[in-house]
Amino acid sequence: MNYSLIRNATAMLTIGGSRFLIDPMLDPAGARPPIDNTPNQHPNPLVPLPEGWEALIADPDAYVITHLHNDHFDEMAAATISQGPPLFCQPEDVERHRATRFLDIRPVDTETAFDEVTITRTAAEHGTGEIGALMAPVSGFVFDAPNDSRTYLAGDTVWCGAVASTIYRHTPEVIILNAGGARFLHGAPIVMTAADIVEVHEAAPDALLVIVHLEAINHCLETRAYYRDVLPAMGIPLDRLRIPEDGEQVIW
């Protein structure tokens, strides 16, 4: 498994010999206003794409788009990436992807296959209560291939029963967590916080946790430096933890 973080949740995941471009957000820094009713009111994205990003996203075999919020699929991505490769998504998003003129849209109801990779869509909760309901739908995905590290891309979710069930069912060796503690001015966080990450580690103590979705969108308040400080102090061994910079690879 080779995971190359580009920015936020945008990444190239190579597994089972296939390259999947995940959640492309390609707007330049400051192209969009801050998210309404959130702290830290600065234009999004907060940071530019890393140097050499064009090469990092080049020639994917397929796309995986977990949901359609702008920080996971934006207008620049729709205008920039090739419309030819297969696009795996949640069924609720098919019509909007058709409007973007992708040629090969493959909604994943439960499970599908791409070459040697089995792709399983998993449930996620993008917050709790009324906010979580308003943020839905959103999905995660598990990637499984012979002789490679089973990888769980949790998507935009908090720690919840659905995440626990996915870990129990699939026993992933790598878990990619969208963190940052994103929140609105009122209500609980809508993605993983440090406390959520600890819950994931306790459920899957042998898995490598890759912490992303950081420092790129205005309402994501928990930083890389914070996680590097507090997560080991909260009991996650350093050899089970990666917090990549934009443009950095994680190989496992």
Res 23: pLDDT: 98
Res 211: pLDDT: 99
Q: Are strands 10-15 and 2-7 parallel, antiparallel or unpaired?
A: antiparallel
How far apart CA 201 and CA 198 sit, in angstroms, is 5
Question: For tokens 């330049």, what's the residue?
Answer: 28
Res 210: pLDDT: 99
Tokens representing residue 181 in the block: 């503690």
Provide the CATH number for the domain around residue 183.
3.60.15.10
In tens, the pLDDT along 158-173 reads 999 999 999 999 999 9
Residue 131: which domain range? 2-251
Res 232: pLDDT: 98
Per the prediction, the chain carries an average pLDDT of 97
- Domains contained in the chain, number: 1
Instruction: Categorize the per-residue pLDDT at 29 as very low, low, confident or very high, splitting at 50, 70 and 90.
Output: very high
**CA quadruple 156, 167, 129, 181: dihedral positive or negative?**
negative
What is the four-CA torsion angle of 16, 56, 85, 21, rounded to 10 degrees? 60
Percent share of the chain, pLDDT over 90: 100
In tens, the pLDDT along 81-101 reads 999 999 999 999 999 999 999
Residue 171 backbone class (left: φ over 0; alpha: ψ -120 to 50; beta: rest) = left
Q: Identify residue 102 by its one-letter amino acid code.
A: F
With beta carbons less than 8 A apart as the criterion, state whether 213 and 9 touch.
yes
Span 192-196, mean pLDDT? Answer: 98
How far apart CA 157 and CA 149 sit, in angstroms, is 22
Please state, as a whole number, how many other Cβ atoms lie within 10 Å of the Cβ of residue 239.
7
